[in-house]
Amino acid sequence: MSTNRQTETPMVEITDVHKRFGNLEVLKGINLTVPLGKIISIIGPSGSGKSTLLRSVNHLEVIDSGTITLDGVAVNRPDIKGLAFERHINHIRQNMGMVFQHFNLFPHLSTLDNVTLAPRKLKKMDKKIARELGMELLDRVGLADKADVFPAWLSGGQKQRVAIARALAMQPKVMLFDEATSALDPELVEEVNQVMQSLAKDHMTMLIVTHEMGFARDVSSWAMFMDGGVVVEENTPDKLFTAPDQERTQNFLRKHL
Ligand code: ADP
Ligand code: MG
């Protein structure tokens, strides 16, 4: 798992990012690199800024200062406005697949149509080709037999697997997961973790926020502990989860392992 971090290609690069909501500074100078093909996990207590950080990568939150790049391209472009910025950010977002705690599937579309909507609309993909791609992705998450079913008929674990298939449909350069399993009943967590594990095996670049320490330890190339808007400590998962240096990390893990 350990690698020479200097020689890796950065897919997402976050440099000295600050974000405040009114008087509350939520991100206080975050630095983080997600190298191509690697899996970075972020852990930390509720309210530490993990979701804000992930949302900032996707420009769902606008950062106050610092830089975020995707494959070398700046996400924030205060120098361009209006339609030009819309085009820029849509292009960036098409290269990022985001999976949230709540699945946000389109309730009026079948699972297959949920998966194929973006490539059909945004890439103008032919209906038949989109259908083939959609079926391949549903098969990949173990749901080929649910192609014509509406989301309301699926379990939480199945919904989340559809959400992952949908995020993959645009062939993103990176997948962002924000507590993808924390809304699921415990018995449904494993099936979603398995899909994420299989993406890891295929060298998908991933940035994962999770409250599941065991999963983070197994799947990650690098793990970070955030608290109070700062990265308190980061290391290989073996080191971070078994012998953290910082007292704040030790206290957190004592409660959560
Ligand atoms: P985490 O995901 O680690 O639980 P969040 O990034 O969701 O943390 O939140 C970090 C802090 O920012 C919290 O104190 C939260 O209440 C605050 N916060 C998040 N979003 C907003 C918002 N849109 N407006 C005001 N405060 C917010
Ligand atoms: Mg959160």
pLDDT tens for the chain, residues 1 to 257: 444 555 689 999 999 999 999 999 999 999 999 999 999 999 999 999 999 999 999 999 999 999 999 999 999 999 999 999 999 999 999 999 999 999 889 999 999 999 999 999 988 999 999 999 999 999 999 999 999 999 999 999 999 999 999 999 999 999 999 999 999 999 999 999 999 999 999 999 999 999 999 999 999 999 999 999 999 999 999 999 999 999 999 999 999 87
Closest atom of ligand 1 relative to the 229 alpha carbon: 10
Contact 180, 196 (CB under 8 A): yes
Residue to substitute in 17, 19, 21 for testing ligand 1 pocket (most ligand atoms within 8 angstroms of CB): 21
The closest-lying atom of ligand 1 relative to the alpha carbon of residue 48 is 3
Sheet containing 65-70: order of strands: 24-35, 10-21, 65-70, 73-74
Displacement of CA 143 from its chain's centroid (Å): 21
Instruction: Identify the nearest ligand to the CA of 49 by its number.
Output: 1
Kindly provide the ipTM of the predicted complex, given to two decimals.
0.98
Q: Which residues of 22-60 are buried (b: 16+ CB within 10 A; e: fewer)?
A: eeebbbeebebbbbebbbbbbbbbeebbbbbbbbbbbbe
Task: Please choose from 19, 20, 24 the residue to mutate so as to test ligand 1's pocket, defined by most ligand atoms within 8 A of CB.
Answer: 24
Q: Which residues contact 144 (CB under 8 A, 6 or more apart)?
A: 135, 138
Residue nearest to atom 21 of ligand 1 (CA): 21
Task: State if residue 56 touches ligand 1 by the CB under 6 angstroms criterion.
Answer: no
Q: Are 62 and 3 within 8 A, CB to CB? A: no
